[in-house]
Amino acid sequence: VYDYDIPECYSTVCHKFELEGGEEVPCDAVPSFVGTLIGAPATWQFNNTSTASSPMLFSWNITDLTGGPGTSYSNQQDITHTFINAHTYQICLTVTQLNTPIGMECTFTYCDTITIDEVSDHLNFNLGYTCKDEPELYINFMSTSAPQVDISTTCVGGSTPQNNGIYAIPLVTPLVVATQPPYNWSSCWVTVTTIGLSPNISATQYMYFNCQPCPGTPGFDSGTPNVFQPEPAGTNMPGITVFPNPSSPGELQVMLNELTGPSSLQVVDIEGKVLQTFTIDIEYSRMRMPLNTSELAAGMYFLRLQTADEVTVKKFVIK
């Protein structure tokens, strides 16, 4: 208590009180899991057998030890995964224990390996683009059990389909599938159909890319990295998904699902300042697009999507 008329005159009274809440528990989580083949030849279920004296959060990472694409699952206690290559994989389960003493790191990881000797027929590919020199949309990753594939492209905007036809596997990537004139945007469907399987498999992906770096547009002036970014579990749910999250500068992907019509997309920092704003017209119910984060400093940000019906906000982190 201060007397402002006499600055040197003050007294202090202290009282101890406790906030109601859950009691702190020891940091005693032990992560573990068991794997079971549930669908021949390569579909496995991994059941979480971790123990702790308080609730836990879970995340899974599956890594192809030969250098192929990995997969991650968040907030799932048990997972089911179909392996697409006859490789050796590392499966890691990370648990974060809750209600533990403040300041104590209570995150633990357990890993095990599994070797897949045989896989079922499959098809998986990913799109990328570049705006340097001649702007190009290309396939930068493909995995399939087929000996050949047929590739077709349908584009709107300023793009011109290229190189459609039949290709032998393994495919030499990056394979250009469309080009666009400078200062124009394009949205393209790329459909890949296997040849030589019974039955054959067909998969289609959509990519929006923009090489015009001006206010009011995404301004993807450098394109996407030439690496495979697998879609995480949950991208087929309605709304917006950002991945990988956390991500390094320049590699963030945005998946929009069951949304159509004009929409406003904004990148907002933790102080509420709008860093990027652009308008997109979602022409299809499922749309994947890269987000240029190369100029963002490490930290936490928010992606705000406003449609005619609702506003959706997603948090993402730049490492």
Which CATH number characterizes residue 42's domain?
2.60.40.10
The alpha carbon of residue 119 and the mean position of all alpha carbons in its chain are separated, in whole angstroms, by 24
Q: Which residue has the higher pLDDT, 215 or 146?
A: 146
Question: Which of 234, 198, 208 is closest to 292 using CA atoms?
Answer: 208
Shared domain check, 142 and 92: no
Name the average pLDDT for the chain: 76
Asked whether residue 131 carries a pLDDT value surpassing 60, the answer given is: yes
Question: Which CATH number do you get for residue 298?
Answer: 2.60.40.3080
Overall domain count for the chain: 3
The pLDDT assigned to 118 comes to 79
The pLDDT value recorded for residue 285 is 52
Do residue 99 and residue 132 come from a single domain?
no
Asked whether residue 134 falls in the same domain as residue 193, the answer is yes
Q: Are 180 and 160 in contact (CB under 8 A)?
A: yes
Give the model's confidence band at 24: pLDDT under 50 very low, under 70 low, under 90 confident, else very high.
Answer: low
Residue 26, domain member (yes or no):
no
pLDDT at 179 exceeding the cut of 80: yes
Q: Which of 173, 189, 210 is where one domain is finished?
A: 210
Examine the pLDDT at 167 and tell me if it is beyond 50: yes
Are 107 and 153 in a shared domain? Answer: no
Res. 146 pLDDT band, cuts 50 70 90: confident
Does a structural domain hold residue 14? no
Residue 6 lies in a domain: no
Whether the CB-CB separation of 95 and 52 falls below 8 Å is answered with yes
92-96, 188-192, 219-223: the lowest-pLDDT one: 219-223
With cut-offs at 50, 70 and 90, classify the pLDDT of residue 163. confident
**pLDDT tier for residue 95 given thresholds of 50, 70 and 90:** very high
Residue 105 pLDDT = 66
- 99 inside domain: yes
Residues 96 and 140 in one domain: no
Residue 11: predicted pLDDT = 53
Write down the pLDDT at residue 182.
Answer: 60
Q: Same domain for 152 and 89?
A: no
Is the confidence at residue 308, as pLDDT, over 90? no
284, part of any domain: yes
199 in any annotated domain? yes
- How far is it, in rounded angstroms, from Cα 267 to Cα 315? 10
Is residue 221 situated within a structural domain? no
Q: Is the per-residue pLDDT at 96 higher than 80?
A: yes
pTM as predicted: 0.44
**Of residues 71 and 226, more confidently modeled:** 71
The last residue of a domain, from among 115, 143, 175: 115
- Where among 80, 115, 150 does a domain terminate? 115
Question: Does pLDDT of 249 surpass 60?
Answer: yes
Alpha-carbon gap, residue 233 to 230, rounded angstroms = 9
Please check the confidence at residue 76 and state whether its pLDDT lies above 70: yes
Residue 213: pLDDT over 90: no
Interatomic CA distance for residues 203 and 98, integer angstroms: 41
How far is Cα 292 from Cα 295, in angstroms, rounded to an integer?
Answer: 8
3-state secondary structure of 247: strand
Which residues make Cβ contacts (< 8 Å) with residue 205, sequence separation at least 6? 125, 126, 127, 189, 190, 288
What are φ and ψ of residue 289, in 5° steps?
-150, 145
Range of the domain at 151: 123-210
**11 located within any domain:** no
Q: Are residues 133 and 206 in the same domain?
A: yes
What is the tens place of the pLDDT at every residue in 9-18? 445 555 544 4
Task: Count the neighbouring beta carbons within 10 Å of the beta carbon of residue 303.
Answer: 21
Provide the pLDDT for residue 123: 84
H-helix or E-strand spanning residue 232: none
User: Same structural domain for residues 127 and 205?
Assistant: yes
The CATH number covering residue 127 comes to 2.60.40
Tell me which range, 8-12, 85-89, 178-182, is most confidently predicted by mean pLDDT. Answer: 85-89
The pLDDT tens digits for 281-305 are 554 455 667 776 777 888 888 888 8
Which of 127-136, 178-187, 271-280, 299-308 has the least mean pLDDT? 178-187
